[in-house]
Structure 1
Amino acid sequence: MNSDHLLVGSGLLAGAMNALAGGGSFDTLPALIAAGVPPVAANASSSLALYPGGAVSAWVYRKDLGSVAGVSLGWLFLASLSGGLIGGVLLLSTPSSLFDRVLPWLLLVAALALAFGKNIAPRFHGEAGAGSVTMLSGQFLLGVYGGYFGGAVGIMMMAFWSLTTRVDFMRLQAARTILVTAANTAAVVIFAVMHAVGWREVLLLAPSAAVGGFLGAHLGRRLPQPLVRVATVSLTMLVTVAFFVRAYS
């Protein structure tokens, strides 16, 4: 299989993963590196390639948007946007050799969030009611993470809100989608302006990811969710182990 076929197949799988359970970057990132894209540029390219699907989801959710625990969505949006901007700048300032060492740990954090975030967060639901400073500070830090790497940032966002608010968990889905997109928007603009992406690779990944997302959404109505989660978490753990071996062996 040549690199073009690898990227198209990776985009299909990543789009389906994001539609089913999340974690699509665990597929696109290693595919881009295998295709010869340097790690920092691969991470930037992966964010850009998967961006349209998230933006479409945000548009679909637009009518369900509202404040979170009394904090205006506009302020949360600005916190996410500014955090994503700083995260994107930090990524482009990180030498590839250092990013190679940091990347496995970022993957591990994201993998653990995918594996346990949805189970752990509800246990803390309603235990605290944070103020606006805590909410905005946390959202800013999540934006930085989203702009720098972004793996499973949506799940981390839901976990943070479950720890700090008394809002019904299901009512947060629309806000999560738009705020993840805000962080990604700032980072993607920085990546594009700084010519930090492999446009050829992005043009192969993005359409196939969109198709994969469409197919995955329909498939998700038929597949048992426990099976989907086990398959997704297993893949993310395997990718994480492979990157630890690559960086430290």
Structure 2
Amino acid sequence: MFEIVLLSVASLAAGALNAIAGGGSFLTFPALVYTGMAPIPANATSAVAVFPAYLSGTLGFIKELKSFGLKPLLMLTLLSILGGVLGAGLLLVTPSEVFSIIVPYLLLFATALFAFGDRLTLYIAQKGKEIKSNNPWLTLLTCTYGGYFNGGLGIVLLALFSLLGFRDLNLMNGLKNLLSFILSLASILTFALADMIDWQWAGVMMVSATIGGYLGALLARRLPKDWVRKFIILIGLVMSVAFFLN
């Protein structure tokens, strides 16, 4: 019963945080590890828990996505599928002991991205003419990271789109949600084939995260976003320290 309550509350809060500012994985992943689940299955199950919100976020920007163009959209889709599978495959061949060592660094990296993501995106946008690139390897690398570890994925994708020369924020958010949905689906299918997902907990958490996403959308209009961002950064730092100590 304690585990049910813990994971339900964590995924409820994660859904709300994702709807407001992002960072829900900072709650779902550590909560699963706390229950005794090994880090790699916990990462796979956490990816399932936060997965539904990406689809609803994509539908919210369907107008911008329709105007993007079919050919480049198909290219990004193929790269996100490939990256999701590669990232998940890389995770599956990573020894559990090694991943346990990497986890705190990944959490700290994701926290730093969340804390400085806006500045990073602005800097890349300002330097766009100097570092602009249409190299598909950048997209593939980013999607591979997302398939391997979901934390901070949204910020990494926004930075990528700025690097590629995108300037329409609504389009960037739409593409961010779409690629997150596609690569997460690809990675989840890979994890499922390897029997790395605890579907019992994943089902409970998906329901709670979906409810949390709806409540978060309501709270988003009332809560100062800066407060939420600082709270998420604090969570990320605390979780990073806890994993370093462990």
- TM-score, with length taken from structure 2: 0.93
Retained in 1: the 8 A contact 2:111–2:237? yes
Kindly indicate whether the alpha-carbon contact (under 8 Å) linking 1:162 and 1:169 is maintained by their aligned counterparts in 2.
no
Other-structure match for 1:220: 220
Please tell me whether the aligned partners of residues 166 and 172 of structure 2 are also in contact (alpha carbons under 8 angstroms). Answer: no
Residue 196 of structure 1 pairs with residue 191 of structure 2: no
Counterpart-to-counterpart distance in 1, 2:179 and 2:203: 25
Q: 1:33 is aligned with what amino acid?
A: V
Letter in 2 for 1:242: A
Distance 2:124 2:208 in 1: 38
Q: Is 1:52 the equivalent of 2:70?
A: no
> What is residue 95 of structure 2 aligned with on the other side?
95
In 1, Cα distance between the equivalents of 2:93 and 2:13? 30
Comparing 161-170 with 18-27, which one deviates more in the overlay? 161-170
* 2:183 is the alignment partner of 1:183: yes
Partner of 1:110: 110
CA separation in 1, counterparts of 2:101 and 2:25? Answer: 18
Gaps of 5+ in 1: none
TM-score normalised per structure 1:
0.92
Percentage of identical aligned residues:
36
* Partner Cα separation in structure 2 for residue 166 and residue 4 of structure 1: 42
Aligned to 2:26: 26
- Please state how far the C-alpha of 1:188 moved relative to its aligned partner: 0.7
Name the SS of the counterpart of 1:187 in structure 2: helix
Which residue identity lines up with residue 235 of structure 2 in the other structure?
Answer: L
Deviation at 1:86, TM superposition (A): 0.5
Q: How does 1:1-249 map to 2 (within 5 A)?
A: 2-65=2-65, 66-67=67-68, 72-129=72-129, 130-132=132-134, 134=135, 136-246=136-246
Letter in 1 for 2:208: S
Tell me the C-alpha RMSD between the 2 structures. 1.8
User: In 2, Cα distance between the equivalents of 1:125 and 1:71?
Assistant: 24
Offset of residue 160 of structure 1: 2.1
Distance 1:187 1:179 in 2: 12
Q: In the TM superposition, what is the alpha-carbon distance from 1:20 to its structure 2 partner?
A: 1.1
Contact kept? 1:126, 1:165, Cα under 8 Å:
no
- 1:46-102 Cα offsets, whole Å, 9 max, x none, are 00111111122223322321449x971110111111011100111111111111001
Q: Any runs of at least 4 consecutive aligned residues in structure 1 with deviations exceeding 4 A, and if so which?
A: none
Distance (whole Å) between structure 2 residues aligned to residue 169 and residue 19 of structure 1: 17
Render the CA deviation track for 1:216-242: whole Å, top value 9, x for unaligned.
Answer: 111011011111111111111111111
Give aligned pairs, total.
Answer: 243
3-state SS of 2:50 partner? helix
Residue 137 of structure 1: how far off its partner (Å): 1.1
Q: 1:39 to 1:62 in 2, by over 3 A?
A: same
Gaps of 5+ in 2: none
Relative distance call for 1:182 and 1:166 in structure 2 (3 A) is closer
- Does the 8 Å contact 1:87/1:145 carry over to 2? yes
Measure the CA separation in 1 of the matches of 2:199 and 2:82. 25
Q: Contact 2:113 / 2:156 at 8 angstroms: preserved in 1?
A: yes
